[in-house]
Amino acid sequence: MRHNEMFDTENPKYDFQLYLEYPLVHSMLCNESIRNIYFEKATKMQREYPRATDGWAKSIFMMKGRALDRCLFPWLIVSLNACMWTLILQKYINVISMKNVAIWEIMFSSVVNSIISFLLVFRLHRVAMRFWEARGMWGKILVTSRCLVQSILVHTNHAPEARDKAIAYVAAFAISTKHYIRGQQEIPDDELAGILTHNEIHRLEISPHSALFSSNKIREYLKKAFLITSTTPVQNAAAWSIQLNLMEENINILIDQLGGMEKIRSTPLPFVYVSQLRTCLLIYLLSLPFLWINHWGWMTAFVMCVTAFAFLGMEAAASECEIPFNENRTNHLELDAYCYNVIKSIQQLIKDNADFHIQQICGNAGENDNYPGIHCGFEPQKVYRESWNGFNHQVSILVDEYPPLPIPKEIINRKKSFSLDHAPHKRILRRKKQFISEH
């Protein structure tokens, strides 16, 4: 997510008419450019800033990402203190005895230096662990979202409306998590364009916990998709119960990652530890001019400025990355890019699923045919209806509202092993007759 070509801000060349009866696919494809424009702007600062792997030159001469604002105040205090004591000791007071300086240098090097170094290393290590843990949680959200959507697509074909809504709220969960963890209440419509309506996005915004609201919606629509009644066949009821439990596990994983990020956001390093480190570090840096004046003379002030920048910069780096969720900090996690990946993955999955079913309807599920529905002669509106009409009796009744299509000439003229007895409209008629005879 570091290159502009990742965002196609123009409408890709899709055959939108082909997906008219796949509402979620059609809506997401039509609004893809709107989402891309939003995410391109949202990720611009972090996306265009150099990374740690971009080489020494960019790493050394870029100042913005060093979090200088977090250490500027103590650095100014230490630098002014060094300038003041360098001037006083060099011009108005005799040089401090070398014997006394040697004794203090031994004490500082053996005791104070060791303590300061240990505290800094420990703080940096803990912050690095928190940063990587947060990144792993977002990776888990991406992987789990993909798995959950794939499962929904495979096992809820009998309930397309509930299926589409459940998938839409999987995408909304990632977006809601990002805004909630950043403490943002407003969710821009462009971010979920083609996925949720304006009213649905508004309900997310007014919810006290938008991420939990999204997860509840996923469960609600999955329950509708796997609704078991007295007329549900036993084998279907058993299979649906198993699949619902597996999907519930994926939803629980998503909520678990959300809870982990809430823990990181609300639990920084204990105040007493940070306070002790900063106090010791400041006293140490304020005392160094007395030890270095005999060695560096007038250069003591300059050496102290460089030393303070090194020590305070490390503490600032730890403070910068302790809660890495701010969108205005270049060192923080690219949450907008992660959400874009989630939505992009969901769009690809549902589009591939729609293409596969169009292939099945056209009787041309060959591996080399990417969009056979374009050539098979079926009208897109009726392709969708017929693609779901053979799964159970409840849906098969709907066939009466949509008369079966004639066999396309393109299919009749094809020289391939394709039996007309197994054509989609023939299969649907047989199932309808069977249902009528049974009832």
pLDDT in tens, 52-69: 788 788 788 787 788 888
CB 308 within 8 A of CB 117: no
> Two tokens at 419?
């039996």
DSSP string covering 98-165: HHHHHHHHHHIIIIIHHHHHHHHHHHHHHHHHHHHHHHHHHHHHHHHHHHHHHHHHHH-TT-HHHHHH
Give the C-alpha separation, 145 to 173, whole Å. Answer: 9
Cut 0.85: pTM above it:
no
CB 429 within 8 A of CB 404: yes
CB 346 within 8 A of CB 6: no
DSSP code of residue 370: S
**Mean of pLDDT values over 154-182:** 94
Residue position matching structure tokens 């023939």: 426
Q: How confident is the model at residue 385 (pLDDT cuts 50, 70, 90)?
A: very low
**Mean of pLDDT values over 1-17:** 58
> Two tokens at 318?
């730890």
pLDDT at 395 over 70: no
> Two tokens at 282?
């400041």
DSSP SS3 for 266: helix
pLDDT at residue 109, as a whole number: 67
**H-type helices in 333-412, by residue range?**
335-361, 380-387, 393-396, 409-412
CB 319 within 8 A of CB 281: no
pLDDT at residue 8, as a whole number: 57
Q: What rounded mean pLDDT belongs to the chain?
A: 80
Percent of the chain with pLDDT over 90: 50
CB 255 within 8 A of CB 125: no
pLDDT at 399 over 60: no
pLDDT at residue 95, as a whole number: 55
Q: What is the b/e burial string over 16-45, where b = at least 16 CB atoms within 10 angstroms of the residue's CB?
A: eebbebbebbbbbbebbbbbbbbbbebbee
pLDDT at 402 over 50: no
pLDDT at residue 430, as a whole number: 56
DSSP code of residue 191: G
Percent of the chain with pLDDT over 70: 76
**Mean of pLDDT values over 380-385:** 38
pLDDT at residue 90, as a whole number: 82
**Mean of pLDDT values over 349-376:** 66
